[in-house]
Amino acid sequence: MPTTPLEPLPEDWDRALVVAAHPDDVEYGAAAAIARWTGQGKRVVYCMVTSGEAGIDSMPPEQTGPLREKEERDAAAIVGVDEVEFLGHADGVVEYGLPLRRDIARAIRRHRPDIVITGNFHETFGGVILNQADHIAVGKAVLDGARDAGNRWVFTELLDEGLEPWNKVRAIWAAGSPEAKHGADVTDTFDLGVRSLEAHAGYLGALPGHPEPREFLGMFARQAGDRLGVTYGSVFEVYPLMLY
């Protein structure tokens, strides 16, 4: 794991849009940071590309999807997020391409965020654990969709929907990236992050041998905290779209 110091993320912004592949993705580290920011009065909205309907082997997708949507809404509420939307792409087979870019650009134009947050979309987590295909496709589409959102002549059908371009996304922040050089102090909100993951009780209960959430999150949060000089931290890789 990297041991170089992390630079604190800027907090002079008001609105963020979180775009993740699945319900529960945000809760593996980023939720505690989101609790910090909503506690400062910032507006954060969640946008889930899928409903996670392929995530429980013992339950058919038509039952799993609604369960996981409810658990994500419950998890979001714990960290101060009251708006969660689902784009309806098929879980497990998300494809990078124009339809996904268009849906993300549409969400950005509607919510007009200063910051867009997604998850790690490198091929691995630190060269040890392979990343999942949906995460990779979504992260790449977020990079392009954020730029598409600001271009009037890309996806002109969004203009017909009354959605004017939004070219004021300052940066994309990828939570949990092994290339992270920035972080947020979540010492005061770590417990909320744990409770947010625990809200996925049905999903976690169906995963054999899943570690206890506090222990699992604490291991990574302490490592990030050491790099920030605090007790608990969350790491993010920053992709600037505008100069700060």
Residue 2 lies in a domain: no
Residue 94 lies in a domain: yes
Residue 88 lies in a domain: yes
Residue 181 lies in a domain: yes
pLDDT of residue 244: 46
- Statement: the pTM of the whole predicted model exceeds 0.85: yes
Per-residue pLDDT tens, the chain, 244 aa: give them. Answer: 568 999 999 999 999 999 999 999 999 999 999 999 999 999 999 999 999 999 999 999 999 999 999 999 999 999 999 999 999 999 999 999 999 999 999 999 999 999 999 999 999 998 889 999 999 999 999 999 999 999 999 999 999 999 999 999 999 999 999 999 999 999 999 999 999 999 999 999 999 899 999 999 999 999 999 999 999 999 999 999 975 4
Helices assigned H by DSSP within the chain = 30-39, 61-78, 98-111, 133-148, 157-160, 190-198, 201-205, 213-228
Residue 195 lies in a domain: yes
pLDDT of residue 243: 56
Give me the number of domains the chain comprises: 1
- Degrees (nearest 5) of the Cα angle 90, 128, 30? 55
pLDDT of residue 191: 98
Range of the domain at 57: 7-240
Residue 66 lies in a domain: yes
Domain with residue 31: its CATH number is 3.40.50.10320
pLDDT of residue 1: 59
Residue 77 token pair: 């509420």
